[in-house]
């Protein structure tokens, strides 16, 4: 059981470039999330989805876009990368049981230079 898989694990971008962080889960979870975490800080919600075809903004959505065409996949798109987007990005899905448990991917460390 792979759980939540994120790719890539590391990436360096130049200012103005675009890229997509991939996230897939094989647990049939409806709710999926993207967070960013700056050094020494908490997790900030970028976007979330409660099911295929439904996405919503979180706390810090500017500069990002998402789509949710299938239950399994929830990619995060960065357009026109800026140094302020240097961070660690975590994808997560919410377990089906009512335990409040988020299952996290290993994270994607992004540096924008």
Partner 1 sequence: GQSLEQPSEVTAVEGAIVQINCTYQTSGFYGLSWYQQHDGGAPTFLSYNALDGLEETGRFSSFLSRSDSYGYLLLQELQMKDSASYFCAVRGVSGNTGKLIFGQGTTLQVKP
**Choice from 1, 28, 62, 99 touching partner 1 (CB under 8 A):** 99
Contact region with partner 1 (CB under 8 A), list: 9-17, 20-28, 68-76, 95-103: 95-103
Q: Mask: binding to partner 1, 21-40, rule CB under 8 A, as x and -?
A: ----------x-x-x-----
Q: Give the nearest distance from C-beta 109 to partner 1 in angstroms.
A: 9
The residue among 17 and 45 lying less far from partner 1, judged by its C-beta, is 45
Query: What residues does 25 pair with on adjacent strands?
Result: 4
DSSP for residue 30 = S
Token reading at 65: 């876009």
Alpha-carbon gap, residue 8 to 31, rounded angstroms: 21
Sign of CA dihedral 53, 23, 41, 13: negative
- 94 belongs to the binding site for partner 1 (CB under 8 A): yes
With 0-12 / 13-18 / 19 or more C-beta atoms within 10 angstroms meaning exposed / middle / buried, residue 29 is buried
Q: Which stretches does DSSP call E strand in 26-61?
A: 32-37, 43-51, 54-57
Of residues 41-80, which lie at the interface with partner 1 (CB under 8 A)?
A: 41-45, 48-50, 56, 58-59
The residue ranges that bind partner 1 (CB under 8 A) are 31, 33, 35, 41-45, 48-50, 56, 58-59, 90, 94, 98-107
């Amino acid at each position: 059981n792979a759980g939540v898989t994120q790719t890539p694990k590391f990436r360096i971008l130049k200012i103005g470039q675009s890229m997509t962080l991939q996230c897939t889960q094989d647990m049939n979870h409806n709710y999926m999330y993207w967070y960013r975490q700056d050094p020494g800080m908490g997790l900030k919600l970028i976007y979330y989805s409660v099911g295929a075809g439904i996405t919503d903004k979180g706390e810090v959505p500017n500069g990002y876009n998402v789509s949710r065409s299938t239950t399994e996949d929830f990619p995060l798109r960065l357009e026109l990368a800026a140094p302020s987007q240097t961070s660690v990005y975590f994808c997560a899905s919410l377990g089906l049981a009512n335990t409040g448990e988020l299952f996290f991917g290993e994270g994607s460390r992004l540096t924008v230079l």
